[in-house]
Amino acid sequence: MKILNLICLFIIVSLSAQTHRFIYELQLKMDSTESDYQKFNMILDINSKDVKFYGRNLLIADSLNKKFGNMNNKHVDMTGQIVKRKINTFDNENFINIKFGYYSFKTHDKIAWNISNETKKVQNYTLQKATATFGDRNWTAWFNKEIPFNEGPFKFSGLPGLVFEIYDTKRNFIYNLVKSQELANIYPTEDFLESNFANKAIPINEKQKQKLLLEFYNDPFSFERTNFNKNNSNLNINIGGKEIRSIDELNAQVKSMQEIIRKYNNPVEIDKAIHYKN
C-alpha cells in the first residue's frame, strides 16, 4: 500500500484547518469477469459539519471553470460513488448522473464492523484490521486509531479511526489512502457535487432511481429516436462518431449500448444492482 505526503500525520489534524482532505486511489473492475482495473483519484473532504466523497476530476473541472470564469469544463462521474453526509452519521445523500439528468437519493448505511486485534505497519503508521459485510460484499479495512476521524472512503465510516485501506474479498474495489491536505476554509462543492455544473440534483427515492435506470436501458437513445421519428428523411444522427441514417441502424446502436450496460453492471452495493434483461 502506498501512502504519500501524509503530512506528519496531522500534527496532524490541525485545529485551524476547516477542511481535512484525504485523497484515495480507487481501483475498480467495471466488469467483474475481467482482470483489468480502472483507476480513479477520489477525494474525502471532512469539515466540522459534513463529509463528502467524490472524484478528483470533478474538482479539476470546477477549478478550471472558476479560474477562467465559465462553465465550459464539465465532468460526468463514472464511479457511482458521490456521497455526502453529516459528520458522525450514517445517513448518506447519494448523487448520480442518469443520461441528461442529475439526481440525489438518501440512504441509511450503518456498517456493523468486526474489529480484529491484528495490526500491520505501513511506513510509520500502525493499522488495525476490521471486517464487515456491506452491499452483499465482504470487506477488509485497515484503519489508524491515531487519526481522530471515524471516516473512510465512500460509505465506509464508523471505525475508531481513519480508514487507510479497504477492499472487498474478490478485490473488485480497492481503496488506498495516498495523500492528505489541510485547507483553511470549508471547500465549496455546490457547483459540482450538489449540482453537476449548473444541473442541480433532483431528489428521488430508490424506486424512482431504478425506474430511471431501467428506462435508460430500455431505450438509451430515446431523445435521438424522437428526433429521428419527427423527420427521418433529413436527419443524420451522430452516436459515438457513427452517422445513423435509418431506424435499423439506431436499433443496432441501442442493442450495442445495452450490451455495454450489462457488461459494466458492477456497483459497489451489488444488493442494489439492477438485473437487466437481454
Model pLDDT for residues 199-249, shown as the tens digit of each residue: 999 999 999 999 999 999 999 998 888 877 666 555 567 777 788 888 888
Model pLDDT for residues 95-107, shown as the tens digit of each residue: 999 988 999 999 9
Which residues are CB-neighbours of 241 under 8 A, at least 6 positions away? none
Parts of the chain with a pLDDT under 50: 7-8, 11, 15
Please give the sequence-ordered ranges of beta strands (E in DSSP) within the chain, or none if there are none. 19-28, 38-46, 50-55, 82-86, 91-98, 101-108, 114-122, 125-134, 137-144, 162-168, 173-183, 202-203, 237-239, 242-244
What sign has the CA pseudo-torsion 110, 112, 117, 119? Answer: negative
pLDDT at 232: 58
The C-alpha cell that represents 220 in the structure block: 438509451
Coil vs helix vs strand at 6 = coil
pLDDT at 230: 65
The C-alpha cell that represents 191 in the structure block: 457547483
Q: Report how far apart, in Å, the C-alpha atoms of 230 and of each of 233, 235, 245, 250, 251 are.
A: 9, 9, 13, 14, 16
pLDDT at 231: 60
pLDDT at 11: 43
**Domains detected in the chain:** 7-183 (2.50.20), 206-272 (no CATH)
pLDDT at 234: 56
In whole angstroms, how large is the CA radius of gyration of the chain?
21
* CA 150/CA 153 separation, integer angstroms: 11
* CA 91/CA 41 separation, integer angstroms: 24
